[in-house]
Chains A and B, each alone.
Chain A
Amino acid sequence: MDLGPFLFLASLEGLVQAAVLSLSALGLCLVFGVLRVVNVAHGEFYMAGAVIAWAISHALPGQPLLGFLAALFLAPLLVGLAAFIADRAILRKINHNPEATIVATIGMLYVIQQSALIGFGPDARPMEPPFYFHVNFPWFGYSGYKLSVILMAAALLLFVWYVISRTRLGLFMRATQLDREMAQVSGIPVGWVYGLVFAAGAMLAALGAVLIAPIRQVHYLMGLDPLLMSFIVVIIGGLGSIRGALLAALVIGMCDGIVSMFFSPTLAKMISTLLVALVLILRPEGLFGQRKPL
Chain B
Amino acid sequence: MSDNTDILADKDKRKSLRKLAGAAGIAMTAPFSPVLMGHALGSDRPIKVGMQLHRTGIGASYGRWYERTAVATVKLINEEGGINGRPVELVIEDDGTDPKRGAEAIEKFATWHKTDVAYGTLFSHVVIGSSPRAGELKLPYYVVSEGYHVASGSLNRYVFQPGITDVRSQMVSMAPWIAANLGKKVTMIFPDYAFGHDHRDYFSAAIAEQGGEVLEMIPIPPTESSFTRYFPKIPRQTEVLYHVLVGPGVLTFVKEMGQFFGTRDRPRIFGYIDSLEAVDFATPQLEFLQGTHFWEAFPRYAQPDQTQHDQYFRGQVGVDNNGASVNDPRDISTYSHMFGCWETLFIIKQAMEICGYSGPEDRQALIEATESLTEFPESRNHPQGGKTFNGKIHQCFGIQHISRVEDSRLNVVHTTSIEDGLYEPEADYTQMAL
**Which residues of A are at the interface with B, using a C-beta cutoff of 8 A?**
1, 5-6, 9-10, 13, 17, 117, 121-124, 126, 128, 132, 134, 136, 140-143, 215-217, 219, 221-222, 225, 257, 260-261, 265-266
Contact = CB atoms under 8 A, between A and B. Distances in A.
B31 interface: no
Interface string B214-247: 0000000100111011111100100000000000
B258 to A, nearest CB: 8
A265 B249 CA distance: 15
A124 B283 CA distance: 14
Contacts of B55: 122
Contacts of B267: none
B120 interface: no
Contact of A222 (B63, B225, B262): B225
Nearest to A259: B229
B56 interface: yes
Contact of B229 (A122, A215, A265, A266): A265
B263 interface: yes
A122 B221 contact: no
Interface in B41-70: 55-58, 60-61, 63-64
Nearest to B288: A141
B235 to A, nearest CB: 9
A17 B56 CA distance: 27
Contacts of A9: 228-229, 232
B262 A123 contact: no
B88 interface: no
B306 interface: no
A13 B228 contact: yes
Given A134-B262, A136-B263, A141-B260, A124 B251 contact: yes
A126 B248 contact: no
B229 A124 contact: no
Nearest to A9: B232
Interface string B26-45: 00000000000000000000
A216 B225 contact: yes
A5 B264 CA distance: 15
A13 B229 contact: yes
Interface in B176-232: 221, 224-226, 228-232
B262 A216 contact: no
25 contacts: A1-B232, A13-B226, A117-B56, A122-B63, A123-B60, A132-B284, A136-B263, A140-B231, A140-B232, A140-B260, A140-B262, A141-B262, A142-B259, A142-B260, A142-B262, A143-B259, A215-B226, A217-B248, A217-B249, A217-B251, A219-B225, A219-B248, A221-B248, A265-B224, A265-B229
A203 B61 CA distance: 30
Chain B interface main SS type? helix
A73 B97 CA distance: 35
Contacts of A219: 225, 248
Nearest to B232: A1
A253 to B, nearest CB: 12
B285 interface: yes
Top 3 nearest A-B pairs (CB, nearest first) are A141-B262, A124-B248, A122-B60
A219 B251 CA distance: 12
B262 A122 contact: no
The number of chain B residues touching the other chain, given as a range, is 35 or more
A210 B236 CA distance: 35
Contacts, number: 89
B261 interface: yes
Candidate in B61, B225, B284, B285 with the most chain A CB atoms within 10 angstroms: B225
B416 interface: no
Nearest to A256: B229
Interface in B306-351: none
A126 B249 CA distance: 9
Candidate in B55, B252, B259, B278 with the most chain A CB atoms within 10 angstroms: B259
Nearest to A219: B248
A123 B54 CA distance: 11
Contacts of B259: 134, 141-143
Contacts of B230: 261
A6 B232 contact: yes
Nearest to B278: A123
Contacts of B64: 122-123
A257 B229 CA distance: 7
A222 B247 CA distance: 12
Contacts of A261: 229-230, 232-233
Contacts of B226: 13, 17, 215-216
A64 to B, nearest CB: 9
Nearest to B261: A141
Contact of A265 (B58, B60, B221): B221
A128 B284 contact: yes
Contacts of B261: 140-141
B246 to A, nearest CB: 11
Given A124-B250, A134-B259, A142-B262, 7 more contacts: A123-B61, A123-B278, A136-B262, A140-B260, A140-B261, A141-B260, A142-B260
Given A122-B57, A132-B284, A140-B260, A217 B252 contact: yes
A122 B56 contact: yes
Contact of B264 (A123, A136, A257): A136
A221 B98 CA distance: 13
A20 to B, nearest CB: 10
Candidate in B233, B248, B284 with the most chain A CB atoms within 10 angstroms: B248
Nearest to A122: B60
A266 B61 CA distance: 26
A123 B236 contact: no
Contacts of A215: 226, 252
A126 B279 CA distance: 10
B248 A141 contact: no
A10 B343 CA distance: 47
Contacts of A143: 256, 259
A257 B236 CA distance: 22
B325 to A, nearest CB: 13
Contact of B249 (A132, A140, A142, A216): A216
Contacts of B57: 122, 221
A35 B58 CA distance: 35
Interface in B5-22: none
Candidate in B228, B230, B250 with the most chain A CB atoms within 10 angstroms: B228
